Amino acid sequence: MNIYATSLKALAGNNEEFDALIQTLAADKTVKTADMRAIAKEVLGYEIKKSKGRAAALQVIVNDQALNARQTARMANIEAHMKSW
């Protein structure tokens, strides 16, 4: 399962490949709830609630990636505006 976490972290800057790996992970039924929570912990850097199931743990990873992508886009926009000054 560590390969999923390592790959997700490596693909954090590439939304298309990250999303493709998320789809693969979602479809991989060999990944059980405890495994998904462990993957989430490694990707996120913190432990999610034990009450979160497999799908919810995956969604936390997706939500974190979406937040990071938005923040990166905002920073790029700010930097572009700063250059025009």
pLDDT tens-digit series, residues 44-55 = 999 999 898 999
pLDDT tens-digit series, residues 23-74 = 999 999 999 999 999 999 999 999 999 898 999 999 999 999 999 989 988 9
Give me the number of domains the chain comprises.
Answer: 1
Residue 45 belongs to domain spanning: 2-83
pTM of structure: 0.84
What residues contact 22, with CB distance under 8 A and at least 6 apart?
Answer: 8, 58, 61, 62, 65
Q: What is the predicted pLDDT for the residue at 73?
A: 86
pLDDT tens-digit series, residues 3-18 = 999 999 999 989 999 9
